[in-house]
Structures are given as C-alpha cells and as structure tokens.
Structure 1
C-alpha cells in the first residue's frame, strides 16, 4: 500500500514542533548563515596557509557518510579546469603515491569518523599537507595541529552533517579556491549564501503547501518509489545527495543516476513491475490485449487489495546556457526523451530546474530544494526526520 502523506501535518506549526524533535527544518534554513560563518572561521584559521600557499601535486579528499557529498562537489567543480588531479578516498589504505608534495583534505563533523581520521593521521605521518574540517575539540583537529596543517572549526549547534553540510563544504571550497583548484572565492560563496537564503524563505514551514516548492515536491515523491536523475554532472551530484536524504531522513528507498550514462538503465525500469505499463504488457501476453497505462480511480483498496508501489521519476534539470551549445541541446533532448518515456509508462514525473548563476550557486539551490522536500516528506508521513530507531539500534549493536 502506498504511504499516506498528510498535508495537514506539514502545514501545522504544532504538529511540526512535535515531530521535528531536533529542529531539522530550522537547521536546513541556516545553510546561508553556515556559508558566511564558515568563510569567517576559515579566514581566522588562516585558510591561505593551506599547503604552504603553494599548489600541491595532487589533492585527496577523505569524507564519508553524510559528509561524502563534500568530496563529490569538490570533484565536480575541479574537473573543468583544475591543474592538479583530485581524488576521493573514504577509508584506509591511503594510496602509496601520497607524500610531502600532496594535500589531503579530511572532513568529519564530529572530528572522530574513523576513515577520515585514519587517512589524515597517515597523511601526516608521510609529511603531506593537511586541511581538516570538523569539531574544534576533536582528534581530527589534534592531528592537524601536530602536522602543522590547517583546521577549520564548524561553529556552534552543528549536530548532523545532513543539516550542517555548508559548514563542512564552504571551507574546503575556499581552501581549494586559494590554490587555484576550483573557481570559488568569497564572492561566489556570498552569492551561494544568498541563494540558500532565498530557498529557505520559499520553503519555510509557514509557507502553505500549495505554494511551497518543497512541500509540493514532498507530496509528489510520496506517490511512488523515486528514481532521482540528474541531467548532467552538476545535477548528478545533487541527485546523489537527494537519494541520501530521502533514505536517511524520509526513510524512503531511492536510487539515483546521471545522464547520459544512466539513461538506458533508468528507462529499462519503465518496463518493470513498478509501472502501469507492466500491467498492460502482462495483459497483452495473456491475450487480454494491451491497454494504455493508467490507474483505476475507482479501485477500492479494501475490496481490491492494496495498490502496488509505483515508480516515480524526479528529474533534476540545469539552466540552459546562453548562448545555447550543441552539447547542452543534446542533453536537453535526452532529458525530455526520458521524461516523455516515463509519462507514457504511467510513471509520475517531477522536475526541479536550477536557477541561473555560478555552478556552485546552481547546485546549492538544487540541494536545498531536495533537502527540504525530503524533510517535509518525513514529516508528512508522521516521522521524526532526525530520529531513526533502527539506526540507533544498529549503533547499539555495533558500538558505533
């Protein structure tokens, strides 16, 4: 049976206050402030001293779990023009080529995540330059201090990487910008903070469901099992973050992909058992004749049985460039072909299109929208977005 998304829950201040025990919505709304605070903390810590102010031979980023998107964003922004390679490692072993000429960036909100902490310690032992981001009083900060690296604190009130993403990401991008690895500076971060403020305002809890983009998207996502598809590398990163938030915050299983590489495997799912087209195909094979994919609006779940879960497609689209390029036109045509195929198969399609701006600013808007949507989806389903009994039980069983 499909989950029941109650719009009255997400429009009620009392219900939101009762369900959102850790004020997840408020935490997401501070994203713009996190960027501004991170810039100040980075400058106070001497971010210009990263790698001695000299461009390293290579950069390795260590982040995992809710912080993993930090690595993804740095890779994305570095790819177009970085003069040095950027790679990602979640845990030991540290690659053998890392040495005194390289920079290792380790990110952990608590400063205690085993993977980034072990990688930072091994990098320090080999004499590599270090940039660490996390809690001020933490083992990760100690490793950076002993190695004469640069450690950036995360500020107060940052309790989970799901709501403190920008406290972790902004210092990394600022440091990489100082080294000429990415095209990010305080001006770009200020524009990004403004975009995050705009999204926080339009997605605020007091904004009614019929005008709030995140609440509207949450209601749509509740109608099926979501596949999140980005129309290119930028939205591919946003899609990965969205599936992580849907699973961890809303407890909804989701998968993500990126065009053009994942077009075939996504479209293949439109033939499968989670679409209305599948029922028509089965009827055709049984001799009943193929029918247009559609739901029976008169179906009674008590007499006819529960409705099977259906696939839904969340397509994340980038703004079209001006002037238009052939590559962008091909990407647009492929995205439209996929959404058309989805609708013809009876798949519910939602689209979120980025607003113009620097790539980081565009990405920030996509992430903010889906972050808020995943949180409203949890609340509309009657779940606390920050508290998962099964996660707590898992930690208890493993000592994590």
Structure 2
C-alpha cells in the first residue's frame, strides 16, 4: 500500500523544525545566496588562473554522491558548443590519456571523498592542471596547493553536499566560462540565483500545502511508485538528480529517464503491476484483476485480497517552450504529451513540473530547486529526518567509511 504523507506535519513549522535536525529546508533556501557567495569566493581563490588562463586540451570532472550532478551539469552545458571534450569520472583510475595539457576538476563538499581526492592526486602527479572545489583546510585543498592548482573554498555552514550544490557547482561553471567551454559567466549565475530565490520563496515552509508547489508535488509522489522522466537533455539531468534526492532524502526508490531515448522503457512500465491496465489485463486472462491495481474495484476486500499495491506515478519534467517554436521543440512536446496521455490511460498518476523561460542554467536551476524541496517535504511528511538515515550511518560504521 502507498505510504501515508501527513500534510498537517509539513504545514506545521514547529513540527518541521523538530524533525529536520540539520535544517535541510533552510539549506536549500540558501541556494541563491550560495551562488552569490561562490562568485566572490571564486574570485578570491583565483578562478581566472585555472589552467594558466589557457584553454586545455580536454577537461575531466570528478564528483560523486550528492555532488555528482556537478559533472552532469557541466557536461550538459558544454555539449552544444565546447571547443574541447568534457568527460566525467566518478572514481579511480584516472584515464591514461590525461596529462599536462589537460584540466582535471575534482569536487567534494568535505574535501575528503576518496574518489575525487585520488583522481586529483594522480592528476597532480602527471602534471595536469588542477581545479578543486570543497572545504578549506581539507586533503583536497592540500593536493591543489602542492600541485600549484586552484582551490575554491565553499564557505562555512555547508552540512551536506545535497544542500551545498550551488556552492560546488558555481565555481566549476565560472572556471569553464573563463576558458570558453560553456556560455556561463557572472551575469548568468546571478540570473540563476534570482530563480533559486523565487523557488525558495514559493516553497517556503509557511506556504500551505494547497499553494506550495513542492508540497503539492510531495503529496503526488507519496501516492505511488515514482518514475521521473525529463523531456530532453536539460530535464534528463534534473530527473537524475530528482531520483537521487528521492532515494537519499525521502528513502523512496525511483527510476529516471530522458526523452526520446528512454520512452520505450518508461512506457513499458504502464503494462506492469502498478497500473490499472495490468488489472484489466489480468481480468481478461481470467484472474480477478483487482486487489493489485491501486484499489480500482469498490468490492475489493483488503483483508481477503490483501492490501492494494501503490500506483505508478509519472513525474514529467518539461522545458519551457522555445519562442519562436522550433520543429525540434514541437516534436519534443508532442512526444512528452503522448507519454503523459498513455500513462493516464493506463491508470498512472501524472504530475508535471514545467521550467520557466531563461538561460539553460536558469531553467535547470528552477527544476532542481523544485524537486529538491519536494523530496525534502516528502521525507518530512513521512516522518523522516531528511538528513539522517540510520541505515546509512550503520553502513558507515560497518565499513569504517
């Protein structure tokens, strides 16, 4: 059966404060401020000196866990017109082709993540240019100093990488912008910061459930098994981040995909046991077809037939319509509409989050912020502390990590 989300709890600021031990909502609300602080800290850290101010032969980015999306965003923004290849590496080994002509960017909120730290150390040994982003006075900062690279501090009060995303991402984008790899500079980042502030205001705890977009989305996601689908590369990145936040913050497993490549595998789920279409198919084969379809039959007895399974819930992340509309935009919108219509006909619950117009980074910022808030409200509504997982703590105890 579907989990129960207590809407009264997420509308009660005292209840939220009691449960949210690490002030996750407050951390998410500082995203815009993180961008502005990161601009200043990047200038102080010498971001203009990255790679000696010269364009490298290639760029390799290392980040994982809550900061993994940094790699994805840089790859997304660089892809349309970067004059050099950008690649992603989560862990060792460092590819053999990396050498003195290349730039390695290693990102870790604590400055102690084993993968980025090892990659940075190996890059330094080979003489590659190095940019590191993370806590000051950390092993990662030491590697950068020894290699005469550039280290950008993320500032104080960053408790987890999930709420420090923009402190980690903004310096990387500024450096890439300086090198001509992405079309991002201070103006674009400030525009994104304003968008993040707008979402934070709309999703603030004092905004009640029926008008707060993140609380509405959290209630929808609590209704079933979430599948998150982006309508293109930009929202594909947002979908991956949303699935990660749902798992890590809300403890709700989710799968994600991107149109058009993942249309078939997502639509195939509409035939499965979490839609009413499956119940109708079972009935046609001679089974009852009920008791496993989200409660579509009023005669279902939960004591005799067992509890109803949760329905599949499709979250569509959609981009702003191009102005003027292009052929590619029209085709993308038509495919997204078709998938959503098929989901509704199969009995899946469909929710949509549509980006507001702006630079690609600004549009992405709004999508990331909305789903980050939604995942956090879902955790709180389920009675969970968004930042503390007993099983993760136990795993660390068992493994010593």
| TM-score relative to the length of structure 2 | 0.97
Aligned pairs (5 A) from 1:298-377: 299=300, 301-302=302-303, 304-377=305-378
How far does residue 363 in structure 1 lie from its aligned partner after superposition?
A: 0.2
> RMSD of the TM alignment (CA)?
1.5
Please tell me whether residue 69 in structure 1 is matched to residue 66 in structure 2: no
TM-superposition CA deviations, 1:148-196 (whole Å, max 9, x none): 1100001010010110000000000000000000000000000000000
How far does residue 298 in structure 1 lie from its aligned partner after superposition?
A: 6.5
2:294–2:311: 8 Å Cα contact kept in structure 1?
A: no
Instruction: Quote the residue 1:239 is aligned against.
Output: 239
How far does residue 305 in structure 1 lie from its aligned partner after superposition?
A: 2.8
Instruction: Quote the residue 1:190 is aligned against.
Output: 190
How far does residue 310 in structure 1 lie from its aligned partner after superposition?
A: 1.7
TM-superposition CA deviations, 1:17-74 (whole Å, max 9, x none): 1111111000000000000000000001111000000000000001111111000000
2:294–2:308: 8 Å Cα contact kept in structure 1?
A: no
How far does residue 300 in structure 1 lie from its aligned partner after superposition?
A: 5.6
Please tell me whether residue 49 in structure 1 is matched to residue 52 in structure 2: no
1:106 is paired with a residue whose SS is strand
Aligned length: 399
In structure 2, how many angstroms separate the alpha carbons of the residues matched to 1:313 and 1:269?
10
In structure 2, how many angstroms separate the alpha carbons of the residues matched to 1:306 and 1:287?
17
In structure 1, how many angstroms separate the alpha carbons of the residues matched to 2:298 and 2:30?
42
How far does residue 113 in structure 1 lie from its aligned partner after superposition?
A: 0.5
How far does residue 397 in structure 1 lie from its aligned partner after superposition?
A: 0.4
In structure 1, how many angstroms separate the alpha carbons of the residues matched to 2:296 and 2:127?
63
How far does residue 220 in structure 1 lie from its aligned partner after superposition?
A: 0.3
1:274–1:309: 8 Å Cα contact kept in structure 2?
A: yes
Q: Residues 298 and 166 of structure 1: is their aligned pair in 2 closer, same or farther, counting only changes over 3 Å?
A: farther
1:277–1:293: 8 Å Cα contact kept in structure 2?
A: no
In structure 1, how many angstroms separate the alpha carbons of the residues matched to 2:289 and 2:254?
32
2:279–2:289: 8 Å Cα contact kept in structure 1?
A: no
Please tell me whether residue 161 in structure 1 is matched to residue 155 in structure 2: no
Q: Residues 98 and 305 of structure 1: is their aligned pair in 2 closer, same or farther, counting only changes over 3 Å?
A: same
2:355–2:367: 8 Å Cα contact kept in structure 1?
A: yes
TM-superposition CA deviations, 1:115-163 (whole Å, max 9, x none): 1000000000110000000010101000000111100001010010110
1:230–1:257: 8 Å Cα contact kept in structure 2?
A: yes
In structure 2, how many angstroms separate the alpha carbons of the residues matched to 1:15 and 1:351?
28
TM-superposition CA deviations, 1:272-294 (whole Å, max 9, x none): 1111110100100118799x997
How far does residue 91 in structure 1 lie from its aligned partner after superposition?
A: 1.0
In structure 1, how many angstroms separate the alpha carbons of the residues matched to 2:299 and 2:41?
59
1:105–1:132: 8 Å Cα contact kept in structure 2?
A: yes
1:130 is paired with a residue whose SS is strand
1:82 is paired with a residue whose SS is coil
Instruction: Quote the residue 2:103 is aligned against.
Output: 103
2:15 is paired with a residue whose SS is helix
In structure 2, how many angstroms separate the alpha carbons of the residues matched to 1:19 and 1:89?
36
Question: Unaligned regions of 5+ residues in structure 2, if any?
Answer: none
2:294–2:310: 8 Å Cα contact kept in structure 1?
A: no
| TM-score relative to the length of structure 1 | 0.97
Instruction: Quote the residue 1:295 is aligned against.
Output: 296
Aligned pairs (5 A) from 1:128-167: 128-167=128-167
